[in-house]
Chains A and B, each alone.
Chain A
Amino acid sequence: MLATDAQTSQSSLKRTPLHALHVARGGRMVGFAGYDMPVQYATGVLKEHLHTRISAGLFDVSHMGQIVLRPKSAKIEDASLALERLVPQDILALAPGRQRYAQFTGESGGLLDDLMVANFGDHLFVVVNAACKVQDEAHLRANLSDACIIEPLADRALIALQGPRAEAVLAKLSDDIASMRFMDAGPRRVGGIDCFVSRSGYTGEDGFEISVPSDAAENLAGALLADSAVLPIGLGARDSLRLEAGLCLYGHDIDTSTTPVEAALEWSIQKSRRKGGARAGGFFGAEVILSELEQGAARRRVGLKAAGRAPVREGAPLFADAASSEPIGKVTSGGFGPSLNAPVAMGYLPSAQAAQATQVFAEVRGQRLPLRISPMPFVQNTYKR
């Protein structure tokens, strides 16, 4: 009966600098994006999730790609303008010490990956998804090499510290933490180690992501975990936390077949890149995306809440009513939201049938389960703006 995790732990998998720590702390290791990662610890997904929302959770996200874009001209504007060829976001206006959510778009307007971009004064620092990082690096080299030196930072770990106690915990190791606000980012000394810290994350909670040299990662993680407010959190709770926060998971909720407008990510596209803006277009897929920004897309990503207790999971077809034979959409992420103590999901529906509070049905094991379109985030975020 056991649906064991899709890939069991294998020696061919890569290890992050915190691998030994995960094993020592009883992490249940599974393959994820080519890495041997903890899906949970002895605490369990449910308690790990809830602990993050009430205290602080430490996540190893070292499998993600960290890349520096250094302008050949030594002018940061040149790197920013170059990156704008690949994303529909305004990077030029991103101030030093600030971070922004962005997406790499393709020719047809679909999404090649989503990423975080930070302005570190004389260069840009980007964080991309683990499963996409090889392609992303090639994409950057192919398109930005005239303007930028592209430096993947292979010798750094990435540690996320998330939750309402994250600030207090991190402030014990660094003087420059408490003054940061949401989406501030830059070099900071943490516990005597030179790190890059951003006040952001993937849980909907206030928190930080800390890029640290690999050889210092275990020490830093150990120092953070020594605080009784902090528990190590696995990928299982990371997924349920981001789902409750309404955040997209690349390869599931967004991919090359979804545009930013279909994915309800218009909020991330600034006016300067839209029609009539100072630098309108000029990125892959601009024609499709700019037109959809004005006219809307044929389908839309929505949040879904179930009426019953049965989780509705990725891949479940969505129907307009309990009897219709043709599906109108599909669930792209779904599961149980521990903070809501109820099932939650997100998926795509025709825009005409995507109004808030509309009832739709998901087919699960031959039964039609009623769902209601609900605003996201499902759980209010607590970012320190």
Chain B
Amino acid sequence: MLHTLSIDELRQRLDSRQISSVEITRHFLARIERLNPALNALITLTAEEALAAAAAADSRRAAGEKGPLLGIPLIHKDIFCTDGVRTSCGSRMLDNFIAPYDATIVARLKEAGTVMLAKANMDEFAMGSSNETSYYGPVKNPWDTTKVPGGSSGGSAAATAARLAPFATGTDTGGSIRQPAALTGVTGIKPTYGRVSRYGMVAFASSLDQAGVFARSAADAAIVLQAMAGFDPRDSTSVDAPVPDYSATLNAPLGGLKIGLLREFFDGLEARNSALIHDALKTYRRLGAETVEVSLPHLPLSVPTYYVVAPAECSSNLSRFDGVRFGYRCDSPKDLFDLYTRSRGEGFGAEVKRRIMTGTYVLSAGYFDAYYLKAQKVRRLITDDFRAAFARVDLLIGPTTPTPAFAIGAKINDPVTMYLNDIYTIGANLAGLPGVSLPCGFVDELPMGLQLIGPHFSEAKLLNAAHQLQQATDWHRRSPRGYE
């Protein structure tokens, strides 16, 4: 079945003319039509554009062009600007916004010949861990549709798990790729801060946001990351460093790899979650890795640090939504103040408003030093802890989430409880480090993920370690019932 093939297997069939990109695209569009209504994973379907792009890819191939992604379909998280196509960020504020340009990663993936099927549902403006804050309704987890898929890239994760596309793009500011990847049983990678361009990616927290990939294997993720990564002069935080060939080192042997067990992550970790990670560690030792315990003493402060820094940055970034130049405008504003306050009050959902207000508070006169400046100092302490650990080990391992997917509605009314879902993922964002989540088993018949974190620009090693585990186990091949 086409939707069970890897990206490379699809490419082989395309290259040998067994199948065309148009046929592959039709297959996935049919799956979307049949399966997406139960999941609500998508906001905008671009079927006509997809068929046109597929035909163009077929022509490029007929003219002799080759490429690992030529003619391969994908789904983009609805946070990436896509020229001529609605880009809503899961918000009423941008429900009527047609992006007038392509984000850099969209342009790069287009250039590589990919076919965009749809824009994926997401937590509003990337703020959430369950995809319940979307203006377009919650996304359901294909493993159990009463459960959340995680967030904020819940639509991208659910679509990848349900095989509505071979892969999807996402963004990760506090865990929004890794956490939903874990809850939906797929592989998700957040690159190093500065590795992938943020140009055209609607900003939430500028010092934390990174674009990344959802795929069903590390090998697939490596192919996609290759096309996305690299310097972009249009992003002032883009790093001008060479991009290695991620696929070339997937099979490098792990002999001598030092993996650090993060003590603070294993303290108090639920037994079944812990057991799955220890099983993976047994496999890693068998493959030649050594494991060592490491301690990052400031790591438990990551969640409060994040919930000062991220809202502060979001309050600044979201000030551009003012009802003047684009986006939602309230009816009959009586003056400028009314235009601003009601366009924003009506256009934004509750979580977004909460975070804007938290940010405004921590940046306001009299509170700036106590909160924002303090949080920035703690951020440095956390980053220094990671640096010290990486002097002793090559990679860090731990859980991705505290629990498997929880029920829709269970946590949405208690923001702090919701925030604690990010407890294992946030540290990597604060330090700008790359991290990958890969499936490692099941708890209560729901998928669980383990997380690998590496030093800056160690994506090749992360993907190599993830791939080696996936050669020895088959958790990543499992499919939710009804989506096989």
The answer to whether A and B assemble together is no
B residues lining the A interface (CB < 8 Å): none
A residues lining the B interface (CB < 8 Å): none
